[in-house]
Amino acid sequence: MCAELSLDDHAHTAYDTTVASGGFRLTRQRREVYEALLETRDHPSAVQVFMRAQKRMPTISLATVYNCLETLTQVGLVRQVNFDRGPSRFCPNAHPHGHFMCTRCHHVHDVDVPDAAALSRVWQLPNNYVVTQSEFSLRGLCPECVVAANDAE
Amino acid sequence: MCAELSLDDHAHTAYDTTVASGGFRLTRQRREVYEALLETRDHPSAVQVFMRAQKRMPTISLATVYNCLETLTQVGLVRQVNFDRGPSRFCPNAHPHGHFMCTRCHHVHDVDVPDAAALSRVWQLPNNYVVTQSEFSLRGLCPECVVAANDAE
DNA sequence: CTAGGTGCAAAAGGTTTGCGGTTAA
DNA sequence: TTAACCGCAAACCTTTTGCACCTAG
């Protein structure tokens, strides 16, 4: 369903070293937020992360979850994924990849980009532009919803 | 700077026919909003569209601008472009294309995709997914800001 | 010890909605 | 004529912020 990348271990290491050494404190809240994200790779919204983190640490606040998610994003462990005006979704997959969102069930999956270099050949921009970040996203129906949509007719 | 597509005339026709025949009323407000968008192809936000439309029609309201933009988007004449959590930008370019945003001046430009088919070869998704929409976006520095950033150092 | 983080509550910012009056077709 | 649309103001929802207290390093 969702591309498995098994970078959990790698990511844990990245957290311990990057956060601790980069001038960022390794607080219980940040760890819980990151754990909540790794636990279920379903691109949860900030509120969903909050609810999950709350189970393990009932005193955590929503504002802290937002702050932690921003810190983790700055550190590079987390990517913030936006589809239209909906709430931001968060993704602990540091590899370059795209995203697919099902317009029916609103689930978000990672999309592999085997040839990242090919992507940069697709678009044309005068060469005095400096591109620092590129991303792409797809929308449509996931297999479950294709079936469900056909049944509904 | 921005890819010129000279589809103004085509677009006008599309508005007159599509909106009028698709069960949508051709109101003064919708026309002004669309005109404001065609006038300056700089991907304005809803508030910017509002300010421009207001010059020609002082009684128009912001809520109406939002409503008109949504209608025009549904009709297919306008595309809504989102970068992160910033205000939505609106684009009257119906051709398939991507977007570039300068992280320094926040201007948004269209990005040509000469080979749209090549884009769909870049990503891999199991074939029981149905993809209805794909888009990509770039971030970086526009030529003006590359120069300005160098001067500042 | 102290810079940086947390929790709370309040505010911000963009967008949507409800409603009575208006208008395109 | 009348369903669709407009203007206004109030509501909504996600995210950010100010401040007093707390804690990792």
Nearest to A112 among B103, B124, B142 (CB): B124
| Domain ranges within chain A, ordered by starting residue | 9-89, 95-152
Task: Give the nucleotide at minimum CA-to-C1' distance from B33.
Answer: D6
State both tokens at A87.
């709430």
Q: What is the pLDDT of residues A18-72, one digit of tens each?
A: 444 457 899 999 999 999 999 989 999 999 999 999 999 999 999 999 999 999 9
**Tens place of pLDDT per residue across chain B (153 aa):** 333 223 334 444 455 544 444 578 999 999 999 999 999 899 999 999 999 999 999 999 999 999 999 999 999 999 999 999 999 999 999 888 999 999 989 999 999 888 878 888 888 888 899 999 888 899 999 999 999 988 876
Q: What is the CATH number of domain B9-89?
A: 1.10.10.10
Interface membership of A129 toward B (CB under 8 Å): yes
Distance of alpha carbon B3 from alpha carbon A66, whole angstroms = 38
Helix axis angle, B62-75 relative to B28-39, nearest 10°?
80
What's the fold here for domain B95-152? Answer: Dna Ligase; domain 1 (3.30.1490)
Please, what is the Cα angle at A51 between A49 and A57, to 5 degrees?
A: 100
Q: Which residue is nearest to nucleotide C4 (CA to C1')?
A: A25
Flag if B112 and A128 touch (Cβ within 8 Å).
no
* Size of chain A in residues: 153
State both tokens at A8.
């959990």
State both tokens at B135.
């888009």
Q: Which residue is nearest to nucleotide C22 (CA to C1')?
A: B27
Distance of CA B111 to the CA centre of its chain: 12
Residues of B 85-144 whose CB lies less than 7 Å from any atom of strand C? 86-88
**Cβ-based neighbours of A26, under 8 Å, separated by 6 or more:** A15, A16, A19, A20
Q: What is the phi/psi pair of residue A60, to 5°? A: -65, 145
pTM: 0.85
A78 touches strand C (CB under 7 A): no
